[in-house]
Amino acid sequence: MQERPVTDNPLYNDNRMKIGIIAMNCSHGSTITQADGAWDMNWPDTKEVAVMADRAGFEVLLPVARWKGYGGPTNFNNRTFETYNWASAVAAVTDYSCIFSTSHVPLIHPVAAAKQCATIDHISGGRFALNVVCGWFKNEFEMFQANWSEHDVRYEYAAEWLKFVRQIWTQEGEFSFEGRWFKSENVWSEPKPIQKPMPPVMNAGGSAAGQIFAATQADMNFVILKERDLEGGKAQIDHLKNMAREAGRDVKSWVHVYVVCRETEQEARDYLNHYVVEKGDYEAVNNLLEIFGMQSETLPKEVLDEFRFHFIAGHGGYPLVGTPEQIVDEIGKLSDMGVDGMLISWVDYKTECKQWIDKIMPLMVQAGQRKAFTPATD
């Protein structure tokens, strides 16, 4: 039976549409472009955006686990901050947002992962969450000399990995664990996480095996919307939530959105065309789509081909493009689909996050999508 953690983690607040930031730990973030102003990942700017978002009431700050770039002129995502260390640092400079780490489960032992997660939960004061990924970029696994299992087996491995981690988080004293992949004696880990019974977990399960894993193991499903119309998107979200309910669980649905906001719709679409069509790194995106088509079963190849534009624009995310008013209307559509939260990416996180806070968040409050936020004072 799924238990809601006893915590002040903002993931459990009552905002109708929660918001977060994704991938600012990576060079170029989620945007595969050579345009001026593309995110030049560094710690001072990362810290500034994290603090800005935290003070504005963003619920989530989530890094992407990436170990190698995708080639092309940008070598997209070739520079990244490791996610557990990143989460520790961000947790130490924020007060409100939930701080995620993203973990490739085949690349870290459950005992080490559980300890690192508990450490970050203490640093953050109980604001940590874990994004569990099984891996789909084979070249990264080869760097670690890690086994590259058949697709569905990777989810079976992840289920045992997560079971072990959760037992470490919750069981007092020494214990033994024996499974198909892990056999450990005299397991001990202190301190336990602050959140009771344990920190929440996210997973982006899109394949049949992934959907089952997310429904039965995760607290949040990070969804790639296959249909962008209201009817199609709602059907997909309803299906995933119903799978969880049948397992006796309540799993929230989050999506990735890329944002281009300007004073007029034409200005927004002109800039989108500039950084995607004129300045897009097509070599890198072709490499990325080839990997998805050959090494992942999340989406069919024909769908990935249709998403080429959106992968350059924001890694296949849902487009929020237009004026502040148009963007808030589109957020309402996502909410009507059943989406509970959005992870946002921009071309330039620093300037465009401020624009979101100043121009869009007040309209979300007016639309009843969120409550006004007042940061805590010392």
Domain span holding position 311: 10-366
Residue pair 328/360 in contact (Cβ under 8 Å)? The answer is yes
Residue pair 330/322 in contact (Cβ under 8 Å)? The answer is yes
Whether 372 is in a domain gets the answer no
Whether 270 is in a domain gets the answer yes
Residue 316 belongs to a domain with what CATH number? 3.20.20.30
Whether 5 is in a domain gets the answer no
Whether 3 is in a domain gets the answer no
Whether 374 is in a domain gets the answer no
Q: What is the spatial distance between Cα 113 and Cα 104, in angstroms, rounded to a whole number?
A: 10
246-283: per-residue pLDDT in tens?
999 999 999 999 999 999 999 999 999 999 999 999 99
User: What is the rounded average pLDDT of the residues 321-337?
Assistant: 98
User: What is the rounded average pLDDT of the residues 343-358?
Assistant: 98
Domain count, the chain: 1
CA atoms within 13 A on the CB side of 46: 24
Whether 371 is in a domain gets the answer no
Q: What pLDDT was estimated at residue 7?
A: 62
pLDDT band at 297 (very low <50, low <70, confident <90, very high): low
Q: Tell whether the model's pLDDT for residue 284 goes beyond 90.
A: yes
Whether 376 is in a domain gets the answer no
pLDDT band at 5 (very low <50, low <70, confident <90, very high): low
SS3 state of residue 325: helix
Q: Indicate if the alpha-carbon torsion angle 13, 18, 22, 28 is positive or negative.
A: negative
Whether 216 is in a domain gets the answer yes
What's the DSSP call for residue 38?
-
Residue pair 140/68 in contact (Cβ under 8 Å)? The answer is yes
The length of the chain is: 378
70-117: per-residue pLDDT in tens?
999 999 999 999 999 999 999 999 999 999 999 999 999 999 999 999
Residue pair 222/202 in contact (Cβ under 8 Å)? The answer is yes
